[in-house]
Amino acid sequence: MVDLTGLHKHFILEHLGEGDVAVDFTMGNGNDTLFLSRTVGESGRVYAFDIQEEALLSTEKHLRDNGAPENYQLICASHHRVREFVKEPIKAGMFNLGYLPRSGRKTVTTRRETTIEAVKAAIDLLLPDGALIIAIYPGHEEGALEGEMLREYFSTLSRFRICASEFRILNSPTSPYFFLVEKSPRVKS
């Protein structure tokens, strides 16, 4: 069976390495933050966003407990405010849209109006040959609508600048899926 999380990491590792800058746009419990932190190493930098203090505390503990390099900044703010905090180009970014796993609060979720702004900002910040992973959870209404919105937006982008791909399990329509957004290596930053 397809391991979507493994695919996320595979695609990010094609673009991200030691010394790079990355953003976890939806830190949640810190799994992607830890992966990005280890990938960029001591000389790299990771910014991680979430609107819930609970997510920051959980992520901080997860990073500490797993010996992450101290190369990260945890930010209690919406991902659409990324430009206020990240002033340098990035090589990769990860979005896990939806709600905070294991929080019990499924009403606090990412929203289309902030997600589209965050994704546009991420693409602008992305270096040539950089990549974004955007995980969609269509099992709840807002998640399904976010996916439709992003699919429509990505279909408008120039294929000479951005390659936007979609990965999903066709015979399981409510299963999570993801978009891979890669900036052409030939685009001037």
Q: pLDDT tens digits, residue range 98-114?
A: 754 555 555 656 676 78
Tell me the per-residue pLDDT of 133-159, one tens digit each, with 9 for 90 and over.
Answer: 999 887 777 778 888 999 999 999 999
* pTM (2 d.p.): 0.92
Question: Nearest Cα to 16, choosing from 38, 39, 46, 37?
Answer: 39
What is the number of structural domains in the chain? Answer: 1
Owning domain of residue 170? 4-183
Question: For residue 177, which amino acid is it?
Answer: Y
Quick one: pLDDT at residue 129?
96
* 17 in a structural domain: yes
19 lies in some domain: yes
Beta carbons of 123 and 189 less than 8 angstroms apart: no
Is there a domain that residue 188 lies in? no
On whether residue 34 sits in a domain, the answer given is: yes
In a domain, 146, yes or no: yes
Residues 6+ apart with CB under 8 A from 140: 98, 99, 106, 109
CATH number of the domain residue 22 falls in:
3.40.50.150
Which residue in this structure is represented by tokens 């209404």?
Answer: 141
**Residue 189 domain-assigned?**
no
